A and B are shown apart, each in its own frame.
Chain A
Amino acid sequence: MMTRQQSKTQGINRRQFLATTARLSCAVALAGGGIATVAKSQPLGPQAIRPPGALAEQDFLSACVRCGLCVEACPYDTLKLARWFEQAPTGTPWFEARKVPCEMCDDIPCIKACPSGALEQALTDIDQAKMGIAVLIDEKNCLNFKGLRCDVCYRVCPLIDNAITLERSRNERSGHHAMFIPVVNPDTCTGCGKCEHACVLDEAAIKVLPPHIAMGKTADHDTYFNTESTTLEMLNKGFEL
Chain B
Amino acid sequence: MSTAKVNQARFAEDAIRELGWWKAHRFLLLRRATQLTVLALFAIGPLLGLWLLKGNLSSSLLLDTIPMADPLVTLQLLTAGHVPEASLLIGAAIIGLFYALMGGRVFCSWVCPVNMVTDLAAYLRRRFALPRTPELPRQLRYFMLALVLLLPVVTGIAAWEWLNPVPVLYRAVLFGAGAGLGLLVAIFLADLLIVERLWCSHLCPSGALFALLGKLSPVKMTAVNAKDCNNCMDCFVVCPERQVLKPALKGANPMITDSDCTQCGRCIDVCAKGVFQYKNRFTFQDNPLQKSPRIAKKAENEQ
Q: A residues engaging B (CB < 8 A)?
A: 20, 24-25, 27-29, 31-32, 35-36, 38-40, 42, 58-59, 61-69, 71-73, 80-81, 83-85, 89-91, 113-117, 121
Contacts and interface: CB of A to CB of B under 8 A. Distances in A.
Interface string B265-302: 00000000000000000000000000000000000000
Given A31-B144, A35-B162, A39-B162, A65 B157 contact: no
A72 B54 contact: yes
A63 B84 contact: yes
B56 interface: yes
B85 A116 contact: yes
A32 B158 contact: no
B58 A66 contact: yes
B69 A65 contact: yes
Nearest to B45: A72
A84 B146 contact: no
A28 B143 contact: yes
Contact of B88 (A28, A61, A65, A85): A65
A58 B82 contact: no
Given A35-B159, A115-B88, A69 B179 contact: no
Nearest to B73: A65
Given A24-B140, A61-B157, A117-B84, A67 B58 contact: yes
Nearest to A17: B139
Contact of A58 (B91, B140, B156, B179): B156
Given A39-B157, A84-B179, A115-B88, A68 B162 contact: no
Interface string B114-147: 0000000000000000000000010110011011
B199 interface: no
Interface residues of B, number: 55
Contacts of A28: 140, 143-144, 146-147
5 contacts: A25-B143, A27-B140, A62-B77, A66-B58, A91-B168
Interface string B175-211: 1101110100000000000000000000000000000
A50 to B, nearest CB: 14
Contact of B158 (A61, A80, A121): A61
B85 A121 contact: yes
Given A116-B84, A117-B82, A58 B157 contact: yes
Contacts of A80: 175-176
Contacts of B176: 80, 83
Given A63-B77, A65-B58, A36 B144 contact: no
Nearest to A58: B156
A66 B84 CA distance: 13
A38 B167 contact: no
Nearest to A91: B171
Contacts of B158: 61-65
Interface string B12-55: 00000000000000000000000000000000011000010011
B148 to A, nearest CB: 8
A85 B179 contact: yes
Contacts of A62: 77, 80-82, 152, 156-158
B15 to A, nearest CB: 32
- Interface pairs A-B: 6 shortest CB-CB: A83-B178, A62-B80, A67-B59, A61-B157, A84-B179, A39-B159
Interface string B56-78: 10111100000101100110010
B248 interface: no
Contacts of A72: 45-46, 51, 54-55
Contacts of A69: 54-55, 59-61
A66 B158 CA distance: 10
B174 interface: yes
A88 B67 CA distance: 26
A56 to B, nearest CB: 11
A24 B82 contact: no
Interface string B153-172: 01111111111000110010
B226 interface: no
A171 to B, nearest CB: 48
A101 B144 CA distance: 40
A83 B180 contact: yes
A116 B69 CA distance: 10
A18 to B, nearest CB: 13
Nearest to B159: A39
Nearest to B91: A115
B256 to A, nearest CB: 17
B159 A36 contact: yes
Contacts of B233: none
B58 to A, nearest CB: 4
B147 A31 contact: yes
B4 interface: no
